[in-house]
Amino acid sequence: MIAYAAQRLVFVVFILVAMSLLVFAAIYALPGNTAAIMLGQFATPDSLAAMEAKMGLNDNFFVQYWRWASAFATGDLGQSMVMERPVAPILWDAMAKSTILAAASLFFVAVIGIVLGVVAAVRRGRPIDGAIAIFTYLGISVPEFFWGIVLILVFASWFDLLPTMGYASLSDGIGPFLAHLVLPVVTLTLTLIAHVSRMTRSSMLEVLQSNYVRAARARGLPERRVLRHHALRNGLLPSITVLAQDFGWLIGSIVVIETVFAYPGVGRLLIFAIQRQDIPVVLAVILVITAVYALANLAADLMYAYLNPRIRYGRSVG
Amino acid sequence: MDDALLSIENLTVTYDTLAGPVTAVDDLSLAIGPGRAVGLVGESGSGKSTVAGAVLDLLAPGAAIDGGRIRFEGTDLASHDRATRRALLGRRIGSVFQDPFTSLNPAIQVGDQIAEPMMVHLGVGASEARAMTLERLDEMGFARPAEIAGAYPHQLSGGMKQRALIAAALACEPKLIILDEPTTALDVTIEAQIIDLLERLRTEKGLSYLFISHNLGVVRRVCEEVYVLYAGRLMERADTDALFDRPSHPYTRGLLASLPRLQPPHRVKRLSTIPGELPDLLAPPPGCIFEARCPFSAEGCDRPQTIRVAGVRQMTRCHRHAEIAGEAWPSRARLGHDFSRKGFGDALVNVVGLKKRFRMGGLFAGIKLKPGLPPRIVNAPPVVKAVAGIDLVIRPGEVVGLVGESGSGKSTLGRLLLRLEDPTEGAVEYDGLAIERLPQRALRPFRKEAQIVFQNADSSLNPRKTVGETLRRPLALFGIVPARERAKRVGDLLEMVRLPRAYATRYPHQLSGGEKQRVAIARALATEPKFIVCDEPVSALDVSVQAAVVNLLADLRDELGLSYLFISHDLAVVAQLSDRIAVMYRGTFAETGTADQVLSPPFHPYTLVLLASAPRVDGSAMPDRSALLRDAAPGAGAPDGDGCPFFARCPSRIEGTCDELPPPRRTPAKGHAIACHLKLDALPTRFVPAAPAMGAAPGAVASAGPE
């Protein structure tokens, strides 16, 4: 198990290096370099050349990459060109706010999605199964910004119950803090729940028809016990993988949702940085998002391995 | 029978299908007395598993009991509510199903799965349940019960899993055990062990069995009385010896006659068959349900048949049972000339020193951290030797049978001969041409001449293509006939495999299992090959259909002069068809020779085990298998790679020799080779097949039913 985790960790590092190279190369290939952006459109060719030389922009690509990457690895994420502050504190602050949003959404997606999926599987073909299918498909087939706007319209414009934008920190009181989270979290949950609940339903159906569930029934175990002890343990394994994949999707959705609700998280920071061509911030944000995504997948794999004895205990006995 | 433990009275079960209701079990009555072992026999579609489902209240969705009663210990089971009825299971009625590989929960330790019903039904605590679990596992013959209890299912072999499942079925000491094809998925040596275990348990614990099986040999071994089902109807009921020695219903007689026998001589006659197939249960015939396939049908058979007395405790659903008692089930001689008698020419396929190793696992498999300071990474990818040095010659027109248990490497060898796998080492020559390293392009002429038939025609035929399209494809690919003649050639091919020409427009799902396999054979024949690898072509088929397909393959060999490599785990089927037989174990040949040589002494110790384990319907006493096989997992071999592959399971092994040195080749006769350290005169000879078989007049044995 430890060897397995170590192997996977090596993979994650490999992915991060590859990803950083790719992003760095993409920005390198773009027209207009950092010096041009800093000096603005009225820069003279001479001052541009001097700036480029000062910033080392004439160096070989790999030298530039190495300079950036080694600084990044030691925690120096660079300086924001637009805000004229170090990137790191800006990024960590936005990260913290997005994490709250992501964690809350993922929690509700997991709990509600799995419960809906299990109920649909156990009551297969009944009206409740159909109702769950309609609800979840509506969530997945309509884009998240639509739900965001609908929710804003209903809860903020018509009933004036909840704030539509921004963020309140815990120091402003627990009430405002939660109120600002409700609409974005509900929107994100709606769009992601279908994936988890459909996967849970189909894997539970498969398990409920398996020979070992039949064998458990034939041993006279009550149906509740068959479901809890024999079916859930295997039926939920694929849901874990799906949740990890959804995490990537969630990051994508967060960028949209934070824009719709003007929520000051990492997604909004990225959009802002791209619009202003704030290259150090773009690089840092993309790399951190990649790292989070890769680590989420790693966590899912380790959890899957832990729950699946075929990976945990390989050897045979007897 | 009021003293019966289980009595089924006039049970009718129907399935709701898209096409309409289908009566899967029709008016079945059956009783099992305390301590009795009752067999329920039938081919697929006979409704035998539906009976088990009805008793256990675990019928598939869409199935419903339409009539009759099931009484257990005198109480009508339908009078219980669902939960009470469920609680009877495990506590009073145990059950064991066909597939041990999927019947244990992969996420729960084996011991917990056995202890669980004890805690639920008997209300005992965890520690007491654990002690009882170890006791059960000990009864199942496990040497180290605690280790098994703590293991997860994937850590056990198939036979061990089935023993664990039997332990779970017996957890609360029920009186009745329902066994639904409990040995069908297992290798023949393991099947024999499980049957021995079941027999011992029944005597020791006074259990009753409802033993459901398609395998007549196993039923004869285990059961005291037998019910024969066909298309959901009871055809015959008799005590076991009476049923096998004096079968009264034509269907029973046909089943027994279709079985291939192990005794030489082989190949002289064809197997007897039951022509036709199961009636359409959506619109069953009004008269005898077996009439369409019955060689004895006559006037009166078109009227509904009732159960009548045919002998002492013997009942049959045939009004002519007395008249036809003296008539033999029709058998037929081979068509055309005996190809094998002409003698074979030079090698068509010539294999020398063939080896195939597979690397296991993914990119990082086998990379291990070696402890020490600093820890080192060693790369030792686990390797499976599927084929470990094979020499083989197949001559034109010759059938070589390849027999072995699962995992012996027989399918890999077949695929290597066709270059569907690339060999790791060694040479494969086809018609003088070395094919083992040829690029795919250069293999085209060879691909035309060498074809394959797979076990499962369900997955080897494209479900979206008609039979005609499937057969036209190779005709076009290899330019066998011009485009305008292809339709005619498709019809000819269908006739060759004894199917109507009109089948060209059918889709695979419109065909029965036997018909699909015939189409698969026709597809192999389309390129006009000389050599066909038949990889378990009849293993998935019912006995009556299997006989017809084996006959077809034999006829085609005689008509077209084909060579086969005929792969099977069933020695009797191999013996029926083959000129020579190779017995494979862990990638090497244990024994090779003509069919007669391999089936007669002296034997390789492993061949002897295979012969002794095969269940037989002739009622001959089984040899004591416990002396023939050590208790080790199938496929277990010598400690390191060099010794005899059979070392771990061999009862005659010589310590210090067999585990160190590769076995030498002993040749008791020309063409007969046994790879064994035992000297020729020390090789086992004890096993002699059934009393009347070997010595009896040749020709009388192979074909006939049990008159």
Is the separation of the CB atoms in B212 and B52 below 8 Å? yes
Which pLDDT belongs to residue B29? Answer: 95
- Give the bridge partners for B28, in sequence order: B11
Which pLDDT belongs to residue A246? Answer: 82
**B672-675/B349-359 β-pairing:** unpaired
Report how far residue A169's alpha carbon sits from residue B384's, in angstroms, rounded to the nearest whole number. 61
Sequence-ordered alpha helix ranges (H) in chain A: 2-29, 34-39, 45-55, 61-73, 87-122, 127-141, 144-151, 174-208, 211-218, 223-225, 232-235, 237-260, 266-275, 279-307, 309-312
Instruction: Among B170-179, B350-359, B509-518, B616-625, name the most confident range.
Output: B170-179
Which pLDDT belongs to residue A28? Answer: 79
The mean-pLDDT minimum among A248-252, B64-68, B182-186 falls in A248-252
> Which among B184, B42, B50, B51 is positioned nearest to B544, based on CA atoms?
B42
HSE of B321 in the Cβ direction (CA atoms, 13 Å)? 24
Q: What's the whole-number mean pLDDT along residues A222-248? A: 87
Closest CB to B56 among A218, A230, A309: A218
Residue B70 Cα, gap to closest chain A Cα (Å): 17
What are the φ and ψ backbone dihedral angles of A25, each rounded to 5 degrees?
Answer: -65, -40
Which pLDDT belongs to residue B706? Answer: 34
Which pLDDT belongs to residue B696? Answer: 32
Report how far residue A30's alpha carbon sits from residue A170's, in angstroms, rounded to the nearest whole number. 41
CA A223 to chain centre: 37
Sequence-ordered alpha helix ranges (H) in A30-126: 34-39, 45-55, 61-73, 87-122
pTM, 2 dp: 0.82
Which pLDDT belongs to residue B699? Answer: 33
* pLDDT at position B362 over 60: no
Report how far residue B616's alpha carbon sits from residue B217's, in angstroms, rounded to the nearest whole number. 5
Tell me which chain A residues have a C-beta less than 8 angstroms from the C-beta of B94.
Answer: 219
* pLDDT at position B443 over 50: yes
Cβ neighbours, 10 Å, residue B389: 15
What are the φ and ψ backbone dihedral angles of B40, each rounded to 5 degrees?
Answer: -125, 110
Which pLDDT belongs to residue B313? Answer: 92
Which pLDDT belongs to residue B619? Answer: 66
Tell me which chain A residues have a C-beta less than 8 angstroms from the C-beta of B90.
Answer: 218-221
Q: pLDDT digits over A43-97, tens only?
A: 778 877 887 777 777 778 888 888 888 888 887 877 787 777 888 888 999 989 9
Q: What one-character DSSP code corresponds to residue B510? A: G
The mean-pLDDT minimum among A227-241, B158-172, B258-272, B600-614 falls in B258-272
Identify the helix (H) or strand (E) that includes residue B176: strand B176-180
Q: What's the whole-number mean pLDDT along residues A161-175? A: 79
> Which among A117, A113, A115 is positioned nearest to A249, based on CA atoms?
A113
Q: What's the whole-number mean pLDDT along residues A238-264? A: 84
Which pLDDT belongs to residue B694? Answer: 33
Is the separation of the CB atoms in A260 and A143 below 8 Å? no
How confident is residue B707, by pLDDT bands cut at 50, 70 and 90? very low
How confident is residue B701, by pLDDT bands cut at 50, 70 and 90? very low
Are the beta carbons of B106 and A214 separated by less than 8 Å? no
- Give the bridge partners for B516, in sequence order: none
> Which among A287, A270, A248 is positioned nearest to A23, based on CA atoms?
A287
* pLDDT at position B692 over 60: no
Question: B374: cis peptide before it, omega within 30°?
Answer: yes
What are the φ and ψ backbone dihedral angles of B358, each rounded to 5 degrees?
Answer: -110, 135
**B649/B136: higher pLDDT:** B136
Residue of A204, A219, A226, A308 best to disrupt the B interface, most CBs of B under 10 A:
A219
**B268/B560: higher pLDDT:** B560
Q: What's the whole-number mean pLDDT along residues B640-649? A: 81
HSE of A25 in the Cβ direction (CA atoms, 13 Å)? 7
What tokens were used for B23? 């009566």
Closest CB to B91 among A220, A223, A307: A220
**A221/B622: higher pLDDT:** A221
**B433-434/B450-453 β-pairing:** unpaired
What are the φ and ψ backbone dihedral angles of B642, each rounded to 5 degrees?
Answer: -85, -30
The mean-pLDDT minimum among B100-109, B353-362, B548-557 falls in B353-362
* pLDDT at position B577 over 60: yes
* pLDDT at position A229 over 80: yes
* pLDDT at position B365 over 70: no
Are the beta carbons of B90 and A218 separated by less than 8 Å? yes
* pLDDT at position B702 over 50: no
Report how far residue B616's alpha carbon sits from residue B623's, in angstroms, rounded to the nearest whole number. 11
Report how far residue B335's alpha carbon sits from residue B157's, in angstroms, rounded to the nearest whole number. 44
Residue B454 Cα, gap to closest chain A Cα (Å): 26
The mean-pLDDT minimum among A126-130, B4-8, B385-389, B490-494 falls in B385-389
Instruction: Among A30-39, A61-70, B36-45, B539-548, name the most confident range.
Output: B36-45
Residue A228 Cα, gap to closest chain B Cα (Å): 12
- Give the bridge partners for B453, in sequence order: B534
- What mean pLDDT, rounded, does chain B reach? 86
Residues of A with CB under 8 A from a CB of B: 3, 6-7, 210-223, 225, 229-230, 233-234, 307-310, 313, 315-318
Of all residues in chain B, the percent with pLDDT exceeding 70 is: 88
Backbone conformation region of residue A262, classed left if phi is above 0, alpha if psi is from -120 to 50, else beta:
left
Instruction: Among A248-252, B94-98, B260-264, name the most confident range.
Output: B94-98
How confident is residue A113, by pLDDT bands cut at 50, 70 and 90? very high
Q: What's the whole-number mean pLDDT along residues B552-560? A: 90
Residue with tokens 């289980």: B6
The residue extents of the domains of chain A are: 2-73, 94-315
The CATH class of A94-315 is mainly alpha
Report how far residue A143's alpha carbon sits from residue A180's, in angstroms, rounded to the nearest whole number. 21
* pLDDT at position B454 over 60: yes
Is the separation of the CB atoms in B98 and B182 below 8 Å? yes
Tell me which chain B residues have a C-beta less than 8 angstroms from the C-beta of A233.
Answer: 105, 107-108
Of all residues in chain B, the percent with pLDDT exceeding 90 is: 56
Cβ neighbours, 10 Å, residue B297: 18
* pLDDT at position B190 over 60: yes
* pLDDT at position B83 over 70: yes
ipTM of the predicted assembly exceeds 0.90: no
Tell me which chain A residues have a C-beta less than 8 angstroms from the C-beta of B144.
Answer: 318
Q: pLDDT digits over B665-676, tens only?
A: 999 999 999 999
How confident is residue B244, by pLDDT bands cut at 50, 70 and 90? very high
Report how far residue B265's alpha carbon sits from residue A95's, in angstroms, rounded to the nearest whole number. 82
